[in-house]
Amino acid sequence: MEKILFAATVDNHIRSFHLPYLKWFKEQGYEVHVASNGGSDIPYTDKKFEIPFERSPFKLANINAYKQLRRLIDNNDYKLIHCHTPMGGAITRLAARQARKKGTIVFYTAHGFHFYKGASLINWILYYTTEKYLASKYTDVLITINKEDYQRATKFNVFSVLVPGVGVNVDKFSPEPKEDKRQLRLKYNYREEDFILFYAAELNHNKHQDLLINAVGLLKDKIPKIKLLLGGSGDLEAHYKKQVEELELKEYIEFLGFRNDIPNLLKISDVAVSSSRREGLPVNVMEAMATGLPLVVTNSRGNRDLVTNSENGYVIELDDVEGFANAIGLVHESEELRNKFAEKNLERIKLYSLDQAVRVMEAIYSKYL
């Protein structure tokens, strides 16, 4: 039986985004292996190898990860290796050098290059140089999920493909009828007249929740029933909570922590927002689209692939608090506008459905198997 290997820095990345693809390989009769950091069981996997990847390129543990992974790859005759995440992708491609000479095909999916418009000089020096080298020397197929990354990848000496992200399950995320939405709100202790904004993201610098907090500060008098629900945790949680307290916004903003009921939280919401400074192709935005929500997002890579200004939402510059608040105000004032954006999103998300994403990847895999 021929074998394939999926590799990523941590188990959770595989579990969150790639189970449909592992399942597809199993159905095609392949023996499926996974290499990642973590001890969790992963469905559709014949063998799971715990590799001590670290996210930071400066961690010495990555040397050990490279050695372990090279032994694993050299001891298995893999038909295809598909690697993900910056460190998992870099180390795996280096470890697979000899295997490629024997015919193993190596895929790498860039879920968002660390070099992008607006990135720091150090990111360009470190990550751009490294990726250009790895792509041209040790990669057979470079897969990208947004237009900016794809345009950059086409300048590398490697076959590059643009795919519709990892896909979103449009059966799991779908609009809620008005009466059901009202009942669901009551269950979550919200009122029908509340105007609910929702953002599910790690609380960190990149996700930029301070922009949303400041926007709510500008809107609280204009929209007294406004509620901003922030799902997630992160290293800036205490900082953002202090910001909310200092601006006297505690009655308007709720920190929900980690949640596993995102579909319901979207269903009770009126608008989905994203303040991110950079994205690959944001799953949280796609989930909101599938739920039929209007969107107000920042003009960052990934967000602008999904949202066209004034067509299915508003796209606002990264630090324009007033512009972000004004856009939310426009959506609040017009039911007609909310319905227009909702209809556009329900139509557009078909291009990014899980079924569509799997079909695209199946076609790419099949060329090399």
First to last CA, the chain: 13
Task: Give the homologous superfamily in CATH for domain 178-352.
Answer: Glycogen Phosphorylase B; (3.40.50.2000)
- The pLDDT score that the predictor gives to residue 143 is 98
- The pLDDT score that the predictor gives to residue 179 is 93
Identity of the residue numbered 176: E
Q: What Cα–Cα distance (Å) separates residue 82 from each residue in 42, 93, 360?
A: 16, 9, 15
- The pLDDT score that the predictor gives to residue 4 is 98
Burial class (CB in 10 A: 0-12, 13-18, 19+), 125: exposed
Whether 3-167+354-366 and 178-352 share one fold: the answer is yes
List strands edge to edge, sheet with 195-200: 253-257, 226-231, 195-200, 271-274, 295-298, 313-316
Dump pLDDT digits (tens) for 238-294: 999 999 999 999 999 999 999 999 999 999 999 999 999 999 999 999 999 999 999
More confident residue, 348 or 57: 348
Q: Which of 112, 113, 147 is nearest to 130 (CA)?
A: 113
CB 144 within 8 A of CB 150: yes
Cα–Cα distance for residue pair 226/122, rounded to 1 Å: 40
Identity of the residue numbered 134: L
In the numeric block, which tokens belong to residue 324? Answer: 């972000």
Mean pLDDT of the region 230-236? 97
**pLDDT score of 350 more than 90:** yes
Distance of CA 198 to the CA centre of its chain: 16
**pLDDT score of 362 more than 90:** yes
Question: Is the pTM of the predicted complex or chain greater than 0.85?
Answer: yes
CB 252 within 8 A of CB 228: yes
Dump pLDDT digits (tens) for 90-128: 999 999 999 999 999 999 999 999 999 888 998 898 899
Cα–Cα distance for residue pair 281/301, rounded to 1 Å: 8
Three-state SS for 79?
Answer: strand
Burial class (CB in 10 A: 0-12, 13-18, 19+), 198: buried
Dump pLDDT digits (tens) for 286-344: 999 999 999 999 999 999 999 999 999 999 999 999 999 999 999 999 999 999 999 99
Cα–Cα distance for residue pair 229/245, rounded to 1 Å: 15
Mean pLDDT of the region 209-236? 97
Q: What Cα–Cα distance (Å) separates residue 158 from each residue in 28, 78, 340?
A: 27, 21, 41
Which percentage of the chain shows pLDDT scores above 70? 100
**What is the biggest distance separating any 2 CA atoms in the chain, rounded to whole angstroms?**
67
Q: Using the 8-state DSSP alphabet, how is residue 125 labeled?
A: I
**pLDDT score of 47 more than 90:** yes
Structural domain spans, the chain: 3-167+354-366, 178-352
- Give just the sign of the alpha carbon dihedral 231, 201, 161, 350: positive
Mean pLDDT of the region 188-193? 96
Q: What are the DSSP calls for 179-203, one per residue?
A: HHHHHHHHHTT--TT-EEEEEE--S
The CATH code that applies to domain 3-167+354-366 is: 3.40.50.2000
Average pLDDT, the chain: 96
- The pLDDT score that the predictor gives to residue 21 is 97
Dump pLDDT digits (tens) for 74-90: 999 999 999 999 999 99
Residues 6+ apart with CB under 8 A from 117: 148, 301
- The pLDDT score that the predictor gives to residue 94 is 98
Dump pLDDT digits (tens) for 141-162: 999 999 999 999 999 999 999 9
**pLDDT score of 205 more than 90:** yes
